[in-house]
Every structure is written in C-alpha cells, then in structure tokens.
Homo-oligomer: A and B are copies of this chain.
C-alpha cells in the first residue's frame, strides 16, 4: 500500500489556523499606525517615514528585549494579554534613558502551539501598550514550533526604534558629585528576577498563583503579572532639561548593576535604603527566601523602576514637574566621589 502523500499540515504546521488569528492581529496593529506608517506599499517589510527635519543630527536608538521567565508565570496562570505590554514598555524605557522618543515596534512570537485566543491575547498586549505610548506596531513574526517548545510554552522578543537629536543624547557624562538620585515607583518586579521569585514563592513556599498574601491587594498572580510600566509620559517633558544628567532603567541586576551605566568612573551612587519601603511583594520574598538585602538589590528593582540623576539646583523643579505628571517621586540617594560603583547606607525595612 502506497503511503499517503505528505503535506505541510501533516508535519504539524497548520498555516490556515494561524492565518485566521493573524487577521485580528493585523487589525490590532493597524489601530496603532500613525501617518508616518506607509501602508499598502507591499508586505515583506514595514515602512516608516524618516522625516527628522527639525533635528540637527538625528540618531536612531534601538533596543531589543524579551520578557524572560515572567512568561512562565503567564503560562502557569493562563494569562496572555499582559506580557506583550511588559515587552513594549521595557523596550521603550531602554531607549528613553538615552533621551529618545520611540517611533515603532516589531514583535516576534513563537509557541509550541497557539491555543484559541492565545496569539490574539499576546498581540493585544503589544497593541494596547503601543497605542498608549503613541508607538506604531508595524511588524511581527509568528511561529508555531511544536518540536522546539514544550506543550503550552511560548517566547516573545520585541524590538523598538526611536530617535533623538544628537546634542540631546543622555549619556551620563554630566553626572557629577552632589547630584541627587530621584526614584520613580515601579509597578512590581517589572520583567526581572522571575526565576528567583518563582523559586521562592511557588516552588519553595508552595503558594498558589490565585491565593492572596499579606499586604497584596490581589492574588500572587496579579502581583507577579503586574505590567512593567512605561516612563515615557512623565519624563518626556524633562528630556531636554539641562538639570537632568542621566536616566537609569532599573532592570536585571537592580541598582547594583544598572546605576554604574551612567556613573563616571570617579563617582559612586550612594543609595539610602531608609528612604523608602519596598512594596509588599519584595518584602515577602526577602523574608520568605530568605534573601539578603544585598542580593535583593542586585536582582530586583525593589519598587524603584527608574532613577533620574539630577543636578541639585534642579531638584525642586524636577520633583515639581514629576508631581504635575501624577508621579510620586522620592529622593533615594546621591552621587559621591568614588570609583563607579553603587554603595548602600541606611537600614531597609525588614
């Protein structure tokens, strides 16, 4: 008996099912398009008008990132509509700290298999965040790879391009002794430290994602999946302020690894742990781990997702501006003479 001829669908690739999902994905993306997106001009690549006429020396700033093991929490919780926003906001923050305004975003989504609504959920997260920040979602790639990913699993990558006029690139080169460090609140872990968080809360402590914890308003899942916030809107009006010497996105490595990115080699950042109380999710992990505070500070953002390095004579004006933007900024430390590292003082709450 002759074998049945094989088709691509037999090999586990159902192009048509993904095609259906991609139609609603296309509609969501189209809602983010500005008049700088040139649509209807072919379909292999995405077109964006590079009219930077008002800039003396336009510089493109780009960044790529993933969501990391926060995806495992989304997988366990079966929630797909938040991780896309995490990624958009993370990428925007990474170019914002160079002084750039974001222009457009592209996504890569790969999964073992897309269950009904899963791809639409993921892309709705991308589209919502892009729309909120005025960024065009102009392209993406979707792949079903049943033999590469374990059942139900998926991974995401995001890519953002923005622009800044060269004289206004924020490099940290003006950071100086005496500058103050102003923190802006995070919404939770953002996208870092999830391997340790799951090890403590889910594996070692055996907590369920849907149970509550002291001090947490929602469930453990709500706390762990809180969307990584975007700092574009509160900071946009400060990007060309001469008193703003540097911006630091507190991502993997916490204060300890991220602040040195803007510190001249003759300065240290001195963080005063007594100036704020980390949100309950961090305190619970620190206590339950247990995890030393130094290890917490090189793993998590501890409730501070963005740090502004500001000239002391601009401090009052910057704080006032941030408050008009609805922010609750607080001074977390200062720049002192040193050797390009972070030091800590004060007793954090325990």
Chain A residues near B (Cβ < 8 Å): 2-3, 5-8, 10-13, 15, 38, 41-52, 57-66, 68-69, 71-72, 94-95, 97-98, 100, 104, 106-108, 110, 138-141, 143, 145, 147-150, 153, 155, 157, 159, 161-163, 166, 169-172, 193, 195-196, 198-200, 204, 249, 252-253, 261-262, 289-292, 295, 298-299
In the complex the two chains form, what is the Cα distance from A200 to B169 in whole Å?
Answer: 54
- Which of B42, B106, B172 interacts with A261 by CB under 8 Å? B42
In the complex the two chains form, what is the Cα distance from A21 to B147 in whole Å?
Answer: 27
- Which of B11, B64, B199, B249 interacts with A11 by CB under 8 Å? B199
- Which of B6, B57, B253 interacts with A196 by CB under 8 Å? B6
The answer to whether A47 and B60 touch across the interface, beta carbons within 8 angstroms, is yes
* A-B contacts, 18 listed (Cβ < 8 Å): A8-B195, A8-B298, A42-B170, A42-B261, A45-B94, A47-B60, A47-B98, A49-B57, A49-B59, A50-B60, A51-B58, A62-B138, A62-B161, A64-B108, A68-B143, A71-B148, A72-B145, A110-B157
Residues of the B chain whose Cβ atoms lie less than 8 Å from the Cβ of A72: 145, 147-148
List of 7 A-B pairs having minimum Cβ-Cβ separation, nearest first: A108-B157, A159-B159, A11-B195, A157-B157, A11-B196, A50-B58, A45-B95
Given known contacts A8-B196, A62-B138, A159-B106, A44 and B249 CB-to-CB distance under 8 angstroms: yes
Given known contacts A8-B195, A45-B95, A163 and B62 CB-to-CB distance under 8 angstroms: no
Residues of the B chain whose Cβ atoms lie less than 8 Å from the Cβ of A169: 38, 41-42, 47
Chain B's nearest CB lies how many Å from the CB of A160?
A: 8
Residue of B nearest to A249 (CB): B44
The answer to whether B47 and A290 touch across the interface, beta carbons within 8 angstroms, is no
